[in-house]
Amino acid sequence: MPLKLPNNLPAIEALKEENIFVMDDDRANSQDIRPLRIAILNLMPIKERTEIDLIRLLSNTPLQLDITFMKVPGHESKNTSSDHMKQFYTSFEHLQDQKFDGMIITGAPLEHLAFEDVTYWTWIQTIFDWARTHVTSTMYICWAAQAALYHFYNIPKYPLPQKMFGVFKHHSLDPKAPIFRGFDDVFYMPQSRHSEVRAEDIYKVGELKIMAESWESGVYMVMAREGREIFVTGHSEYAPDTLDSEYRRDLAKGLSINPPVNYYKDNDPKQEVIVRWRSTANLLFANWLNYYVYQPTPFDINKIH
Protein backbone atom coordinates (compact mmCIF):
# COMPACT_ATOMS: atom_id res chain seq x y z
CA MET A 1 0.00 0.00 0.00
CA PRO A 2 1.12 3.57 -0.59
CA LEU A 3 2.09 6.34 1.75
CA LYS A 4 0.01 9.48 2.01
CA LEU A 5 2.38 12.42 1.71
CA PRO A 6 2.01 16.19 1.44
CA ASN A 7 1.21 17.43 -2.06
CA ASN A 8 4.33 18.36 -4.07
CA LEU A 9 6.84 16.90 -1.60
CA PRO A 10 10.04 16.48 -3.68
CA ALA A 11 10.56 12.97 -2.30
CA ILE A 12 7.45 11.79 -4.18
CA GLU A 13 8.98 12.17 -7.63
CA ALA A 14 12.36 10.85 -6.49
CA LEU A 15 10.78 7.67 -5.13
CA LYS A 16 8.49 7.17 -8.11
CA GLU A 17 11.65 6.89 -10.18
CA GLU A 18 12.55 3.90 -7.97
CA ASN A 19 9.09 2.39 -8.65
CA ILE A 20 8.08 2.95 -5.03
CA PHE A 21 4.32 3.54 -4.75
CA VAL A 22 3.54 6.81 -3.00
CA MET A 23 0.62 9.17 -3.41
CA ASP A 24 -0.27 12.67 -2.40
CA ASP A 25 -3.10 13.95 -0.19
CA ASP A 26 -5.62 14.35 -3.01
CA ARG A 27 -5.57 10.73 -4.08
CA ALA A 28 -5.29 9.31 -0.56
CA ASN A 29 -8.34 11.20 0.64
CA SER A 30 -10.47 9.41 -1.94
CA GLN A 31 -9.85 6.05 -0.23
CA ASP A 32 -12.06 4.86 2.62
CA ILE A 33 -9.22 3.55 4.81
CA ARG A 34 -8.07 4.45 8.31
CA PRO A 35 -4.37 5.09 7.62
CA LEU A 36 -1.79 4.83 10.36
CA ARG A 37 -0.65 8.30 11.39
CA ILE A 38 3.14 8.51 11.53
CA ALA A 39 4.98 11.61 12.76
CA ILE A 40 8.60 12.15 11.74
CA LEU A 41 10.69 14.60 13.75
CA ASN A 42 13.52 15.10 11.25
CA LEU A 43 16.55 16.57 13.03
CA MET A 44 19.05 15.83 10.27
CA PRO A 45 20.61 18.86 8.53
CA ILE A 46 19.68 17.94 4.95
CA LYS A 47 15.98 17.24 5.38
CA GLU A 48 15.16 16.14 1.84
CA ARG A 49 17.67 13.31 1.86
CA THR A 50 16.39 11.91 5.16
CA GLU A 51 12.80 12.21 3.95
CA ILE A 52 13.59 10.04 0.94
CA ASP A 53 15.54 7.51 3.02
CA LEU A 54 12.74 7.04 5.56
CA ILE A 55 9.86 7.07 3.09
CA ARG A 56 11.63 4.45 0.99
CA LEU A 57 11.58 2.04 3.94
CA LEU A 58 8.15 2.95 5.29
CA SER A 59 6.58 2.24 1.90
CA ASN A 60 7.51 -1.45 1.96
CA THR A 61 4.40 -2.77 3.77
CA PRO A 62 0.72 -3.36 2.90
CA LEU A 63 -0.28 -0.62 5.36
CA GLN A 64 -1.39 2.86 4.34
CA LEU A 65 0.50 5.53 6.24
CA ASP A 66 -0.31 9.20 6.70
CA ILE A 67 3.03 10.95 7.18
CA THR A 68 3.39 14.23 9.08
CA PHE A 69 6.78 15.95 9.22
CA MET A 70 7.33 17.72 12.53
CA LYS A 71 9.81 20.44 13.42
CA VAL A 72 11.12 21.86 16.68
CA PRO A 73 9.47 25.20 17.49
CA GLY A 74 11.69 28.21 16.88
CA HIS A 75 14.57 26.22 15.37
CA GLU A 76 15.66 27.33 11.90
CA SER A 77 17.31 24.78 9.63
CA LYS A 78 20.61 25.99 8.15
CA ASN A 79 20.81 23.39 5.38
CA THR A 80 17.22 23.19 4.14
CA SER A 81 15.35 26.06 2.51
CA SER A 82 12.82 27.98 4.56
CA ASP A 83 10.27 27.44 1.75
CA HIS A 84 10.63 23.67 2.08
CA MET A 85 10.23 23.85 5.85
CA LYS A 86 7.17 26.10 5.63
CA GLN A 87 5.48 23.96 3.01
CA PHE A 88 6.10 20.48 4.37
CA TYR A 89 6.85 20.75 8.11
CA THR A 90 4.53 21.53 11.01
CA SER A 91 5.76 22.89 14.31
CA PHE A 92 5.24 20.69 17.33
CA GLU A 93 3.17 23.46 18.91
CA HIS A 94 0.50 22.88 16.25
CA LEU A 95 0.56 19.08 16.65
CA GLN A 96 0.73 18.62 20.41
CA ASP A 97 -3.04 18.11 20.76
CA GLN A 98 -3.02 15.34 18.14
CA LYS A 99 -2.20 11.64 18.51
CA PHE A 100 -0.16 9.39 16.27
CA ASP A 101 0.13 5.64 15.84
CA GLY A 102 3.88 5.79 15.33
CA MET A 103 6.71 8.29 15.47
CA ILE A 104 10.30 8.40 14.23
CA ILE A 105 12.83 10.81 15.73
CA THR A 106 16.02 10.97 13.72
CA GLY A 107 19.63 11.53 14.63
CA ALA A 108 21.37 14.90 14.57
CA PRO A 109 25.04 15.96 14.34
CA LEU A 110 25.15 16.98 18.00
CA GLU A 111 27.19 14.22 19.61
CA HIS A 112 30.06 16.51 20.62
CA LEU A 113 27.68 18.56 22.78
CA ALA A 114 26.35 17.75 26.21
CA PHE A 115 22.61 17.22 25.88
CA GLU A 116 21.91 20.27 28.03
CA ASP A 117 24.02 22.43 25.68
CA VAL A 118 21.81 21.69 22.66
CA THR A 119 19.94 24.92 21.94
CA TYR A 120 16.57 23.20 21.62
CA TRP A 121 17.09 20.60 24.38
CA THR A 122 14.09 21.82 26.40
CA TRP A 123 11.83 21.35 23.40
CA ILE A 124 13.30 17.91 22.71
CA GLN A 125 12.53 16.87 26.27
CA THR A 126 8.99 18.18 25.90
CA ILE A 127 8.50 16.21 22.68
CA PHE A 128 9.93 13.04 24.24
CA ASP A 129 7.49 13.31 27.15
CA TRP A 130 4.60 14.09 24.82
CA ALA A 131 5.33 10.99 22.71
CA ARG A 132 4.85 8.75 25.71
CA THR A 133 1.17 9.65 25.95
CA HIS A 134 0.35 10.60 22.36
CA VAL A 135 2.10 7.89 20.31
CA THR A 136 1.68 4.10 20.30
CA SER A 137 5.32 3.35 19.43
CA THR A 138 8.29 5.67 18.92
CA MET A 139 11.54 4.75 17.17
CA TYR A 140 14.52 6.86 18.24
CA ILE A 141 17.50 6.80 15.85
CA CYS A 142 21.20 7.45 16.60
CA TRP A 143 21.54 10.77 18.53
CA ALA A 144 17.84 10.72 19.34
CA ALA A 145 18.26 7.22 20.83
CA GLN A 146 21.11 8.42 23.04
CA ALA A 147 19.19 11.55 24.00
CA ALA A 148 16.01 9.67 24.91
CA LEU A 149 17.89 7.05 26.92
CA TYR A 150 19.51 9.89 28.84
CA HIS A 151 16.28 11.81 29.31
CA PHE A 152 14.09 8.91 30.42
CA TYR A 153 16.61 6.57 32.08
CA ASN A 154 19.69 8.67 32.85
CA ILE A 155 21.90 6.56 30.55
CA PRO A 156 25.08 8.57 29.78
CA LYS A 157 26.78 8.82 26.42
CA TYR A 158 30.54 8.49 26.10
CA PRO A 159 32.80 10.09 23.47
CA LEU A 160 34.62 7.65 21.21
CA PRO A 161 38.36 7.99 20.47
CA GLN A 162 37.49 7.82 16.77
CA LYS A 163 34.27 7.82 14.81
CA MET A 164 32.33 4.55 14.71
CA PHE A 165 32.04 4.54 10.94
CA GLY A 166 31.09 1.76 8.60
CA VAL A 167 28.81 -1.25 8.21
CA PHE A 168 29.07 -3.65 11.14
CA LYS A 169 27.93 -7.18 11.93
CA HIS A 170 25.17 -7.35 14.55
CA HIS A 171 23.27 -10.14 16.25
CA SER A 172 20.01 -10.35 18.14
CA LEU A 173 19.88 -11.20 21.85
CA ASP A 174 16.19 -12.14 21.52
CA PRO A 175 15.76 -13.71 18.07
CA LYS A 176 12.09 -14.60 18.73
CA ALA A 177 11.09 -10.97 19.31
CA PRO A 178 8.72 -9.74 16.56
CA ILE A 179 11.07 -6.88 15.64
CA PHE A 180 13.53 -9.52 14.33
CA ARG A 181 11.09 -11.61 12.27
CA GLY A 182 12.93 -12.72 9.15
CA PHE A 183 16.35 -11.51 10.31
CA ASP A 184 19.42 -13.64 9.71
CA ASP A 185 21.52 -14.76 12.69
CA VAL A 186 24.06 -12.10 11.76
CA PHE A 187 22.95 -8.90 10.07
CA TYR A 188 24.69 -5.75 8.91
CA MET A 189 23.81 -2.15 9.73
CA PRO A 190 25.56 1.18 9.12
CA GLN A 191 26.94 3.14 12.06
CA SER A 192 28.11 6.74 11.93
CA ARG A 193 28.63 8.33 15.35
CA HIS A 194 31.17 9.91 17.65
CA SER A 195 29.70 8.65 20.92
CA GLU A 196 28.17 5.53 22.41
CA VAL A 197 25.95 4.16 25.14
CA ARG A 198 27.30 1.19 27.08
CA ALA A 199 25.70 -2.10 27.93
CA GLU A 200 26.80 -2.03 31.57
CA ASP A 201 24.78 1.15 32.16
CA ILE A 202 21.70 -0.21 30.41
CA TYR A 203 21.74 -3.51 32.32
CA LYS A 204 21.34 -1.53 35.55
CA VAL A 205 17.93 -0.26 34.46
CA GLY A 206 15.22 -2.88 34.82
CA GLU A 207 12.84 -1.22 32.36
CA LEU A 208 15.38 -1.48 29.54
CA LYS A 209 16.25 -4.53 27.45
CA ILE A 210 19.15 -4.76 25.01
CA MET A 211 17.70 -6.43 21.93
CA ALA A 212 20.73 -6.51 19.62
CA GLU A 213 24.41 -5.64 19.68
CA SER A 214 27.64 -5.86 17.73
CA TRP A 215 30.95 -7.29 18.86
CA GLU A 216 32.59 -4.36 17.08
CA SER A 217 30.27 -1.38 17.52
CA GLY A 218 28.49 -2.23 20.78
CA VAL A 219 24.83 -1.73 21.65
CA TYR A 220 22.58 -1.57 18.59
CA MET A 221 18.97 -1.76 19.81
CA VAL A 222 17.31 -1.21 23.18
CA MET A 223 13.61 -1.62 23.89
CA ALA A 224 11.37 -0.31 26.67
CA ARG A 225 7.69 -0.39 27.57
CA GLU A 226 7.07 -3.54 25.48
CA GLY A 227 8.10 -1.81 22.28
CA ARG A 228 6.45 1.55 22.82
CA GLU A 229 10.03 2.87 22.84
CA ILE A 230 12.67 1.46 20.51
CA PHE A 231 16.16 2.95 20.57
CA VAL A 232 18.38 2.23 17.54
CA THR A 233 21.99 3.42 17.57
CA GLY A 234 22.67 2.85 13.88
CA HIS A 235 21.35 4.11 10.56
CA SER A 236 19.37 1.36 8.85
CA GLU A 237 17.70 4.06 6.76
CA TYR A 238 20.93 5.13 5.05
CA ALA A 239 21.00 5.05 1.25
CA PRO A 240 23.87 3.17 -0.43
CA ASP A 241 25.95 6.32 -0.97
CA THR A 242 25.40 8.08 2.37
CA LEU A 243 28.53 6.86 4.15
CA ASP A 244 30.57 7.64 1.05
CA SER A 245 29.18 11.19 1.00
CA GLU A 246 30.05 11.63 4.68
CA TYR A 247 33.56 10.31 4.10
CA ARG A 248 34.22 12.61 1.10
CA ARG A 249 32.76 15.58 2.99
CA ASP A 250 35.04 15.04 5.98
CA LEU A 251 38.08 14.60 3.75
CA ALA A 252 37.25 17.87 1.99
CA LYS A 253 37.14 19.58 5.37
CA GLY A 254 40.63 18.29 6.15
CA LEU A 255 39.40 16.11 9.01
CA SER A 256 41.25 13.01 10.10
CA ILE A 257 38.84 10.27 9.07
CA ASN A 258 39.31 6.61 8.23
CA PRO A 259 37.26 5.10 5.40
CA PRO A 260 34.03 3.43 6.56
CA VAL A 261 34.78 -0.24 7.28
CA ASN A 262 33.05 -3.17 5.52
CA TYR A 263 31.59 -0.72 3.02
CA TYR A 264 33.71 -0.46 -0.10
CA LYS A 265 34.72 -3.53 -2.07
CA ASP A 266 37.95 -4.82 -0.49
CA ASN A 267 37.74 -1.84 1.93
CA ASP A 268 39.13 0.31 -0.87
CA PRO A 269 37.48 3.76 -1.22
CA LYS A 270 38.40 3.77 -4.90
CA GLN A 271 36.11 0.80 -5.50
CA GLU A 272 32.33 0.47 -5.46
CA VAL A 273 30.08 0.31 -2.42
CA ILE A 274 28.78 -3.12 -1.35
CA VAL A 275 25.27 -2.75 0.13
CA ARG A 276 24.85 -5.30 2.94
CA TRP A 277 21.94 -3.85 4.93
CA ARG A 278 19.09 -3.12 2.49
CA SER A 279 16.96 -6.24 3.13
CA THR A 280 17.42 -6.07 6.90
CA ALA A 281 16.49 -2.39 6.95
CA ASN A 282 13.26 -3.14 5.11
CA LEU A 283 12.45 -5.92 7.58
CA LEU A 284 13.19 -3.67 10.55
CA PHE A 285 10.72 -0.97 9.50
CA ALA A 286 8.09 -3.45 8.29
CA ASN A 287 8.23 -5.36 11.58
CA TRP A 288 8.06 -2.16 13.60
CA LEU A 289 5.01 -0.95 11.69
CA ASN A 290 3.22 -4.28 11.83
CA TYR A 291 3.96 -5.59 15.33
CA TYR A 292 4.57 -2.43 17.36
CA VAL A 293 2.39 0.16 15.61
CA TYR A 294 -0.45 -1.41 13.63
CA GLN A 295 -1.36 -4.37 15.87
CA PRO A 296 -1.37 -2.63 19.28
CA THR A 297 -2.73 0.77 18.23
CA PRO A 298 -6.47 1.37 18.86
CA PHE A 299 -8.78 1.93 15.93
CA ASP A 300 -9.95 5.11 17.67
CA ILE A 301 -6.68 7.02 17.65
CA ASN A 302 -7.90 9.27 20.46
CA LYS A 303 -7.70 6.29 22.83
CA ILE A 304 -3.90 6.25 22.67
CA HIS A 305 -2.51 7.05 26.10
β-strands 65-71, 187-196 pairing: unpaired
Q: Are 28 and 7 in contact (CB under 8 A)?
A: no
pTM above 0.85, yes or no: yes
As a whole-number percent, the residues of the chain with pLDDT over 70 amount to 90
Mapped onto helix, strand or coil, the DSSP state of residue 24 is strand
- Cα 44 from Cα 160, distance rounded (Å): 21
Distance of CA 23 to the CA centre of its chain: 22
Query: Catalytic positions, please?
Result: 142, 235, 237
What tens digit of pLDDT does each residue of 255-299 get?
889 999 999 999 999 999 999 999 999 999 999 999 999 999 998
What tens digit of pLDDT does each residue of 82-109 get?
888 899 999 999 999 999 999 999 999 9
Mean pLDDT, to the nearest integer, of 151-167? 97
Q: Which residues contact 221 (CB under 8 A, 6 or more apart)?
A: 179, 210, 211, 212, 213, 230, 231, 232, 233
Q: Are 53 and 192 in contact (CB under 8 A)?
A: no
- Cα 129 from Cα 151, distance rounded (Å): 9
The closest of 251, 290, 244 to 268, measured between CA atoms, is 244
- Cα 75 from Cα 145, distance rounded (Å): 20
Phi-psi region of 9 (alpha: psi -120 to 50; beta: other; left: phi over 0): beta
Q: Which residues contact 244 (CB under 8 A, 6 or more apart)?
A: 260, 263, 264, 269, 273
- Cα 4 from Cα 67, distance rounded (Å): 6
What confidence score (pLDDT) does residue 190 get?
A: 98
Mapped onto helix, strand or coil, the DSSP state of residue 146 is helix
Rg (CA), the chain: 19
> Does residue 2 surpass a pLDDT of 70?
no
β-strands 22-24, 89-91 pairing: unpaired
What tens digit of pLDDT does each residue of 5-17 get?
676 777 666 666 6
- Cα 38 from Cα 30, distance rounded (Å): 19
Mean pLDDT, to the nearest integer, of 186-210? 98
Backbone angles phi, psi at 265, to 5 degrees: -60, 130
Mean pLDDT for the chain overall: 91
